Amino acid sequence: MQKSEIIKEAFDELQKGRTSKAEDILKNVYPFVPIAVEKRSYKLQDKMRIFMRDHFIDRYSGDKLVNPGVLKLFSVRMQEAFPYHPHWKMDETHIAYWELTPTIDHINPLALGGADSEENWITTSMLHNQIKSNWTLEQIGWSIKENLADESWDGLTKDFVRYVDEYPELLKDIYIAKWYKESKKYEST
């Protein structure tokens, strides 16, 4: 029976004044199941490891993503052309931060009982992470792209490290510094 049909059946009973019958239908056929939610526990090095594993490819769309330090470089060097707000306010931050910044998504959402473990982590853009939110892939009709478009893509990580090596004053920016430090570990891979 479809979930909407269960609700219809319960509503029919409610309309007939049989509240307890409607409640029985909901409790027995479409029950509320509370889920204990785990807290996220990944660190920057975990993120970078997953991004490199997935070759900075959004595993839901197949799009190439970019090392977050690269995007911040543009904002530091060209604030007017590529604005940045520390809280990513949409009217003050370039849309590329949402479209191209990789993040970790939980394939099976924590809110629905998914584990906070590497086997449940996948690279996606901030935009797709926001869209997917606490829904399963089945609920939103998405799938995981298994064949990555370009397995040599590193999100410009090596280029980012070389650029900052050439212009070390950029390390004054905390955001750039933290991504540089983590990216440097992958410079030779």
Confidence at residue 35, expressed as pLDDT on a 0 to 100 scale: 66
78 contacts: CB under 8 Å, gap ≥ 6: none
Give the domain range for residue 125: 44-184
Same domain, 90 and 178: yes
Same domain, 28 and 68: no
Residue whose pair of structure tokens reads 């933290």 in the numeric block: 178
Q: Is residue 38 part of a domain?
A: no
Q: What is the mean pLDDT of residues 130-146?
A: 94
Confidence at residue 34, expressed as pLDDT on a 0 to 100 scale: 74
Indicate if the pLDDT at residue 11 is higher than 80: yes
12 contacts: CB under 8 Å, gap ≥ 6: none
Same domain, 84 and 143: yes
Same domain, 125 and 171: yes
Kindly report which listed range (45-49, 85-89, 124-128, 169-173) carries the lowest average pLDDT score.
85-89
Whether the CB-CB separation of 111 and 34 falls below 8 Å is answered with no
Same domain, 28 and 69: no
Q: What is the mean pLDDT of residues 94-104?
A: 96
**Any idea what the Cα angle at residue 35 is, between residues 32 and 36, rounded to 5°?**
155
Confidence of residue 37 (pLDDT cuts 50, 70, 90): low
Q: How far apart are CA 52 and CA 155, in angstroms?
A: 8
Q: Is residue 189 part of a domain?
A: no
Same domain, 28 and 57: no
Same domain, 67 and 146: yes
Same domain, 66 and 102: yes
Number of domains the chain is built from: 2
Same domain, 55 and 78: yes
Indicate if the pLDDT at residue 148 is higher than 90: no
Number of other CB atoms surrounding residue 154 within 10 Å: 21
Same domain, 134 and 78: yes
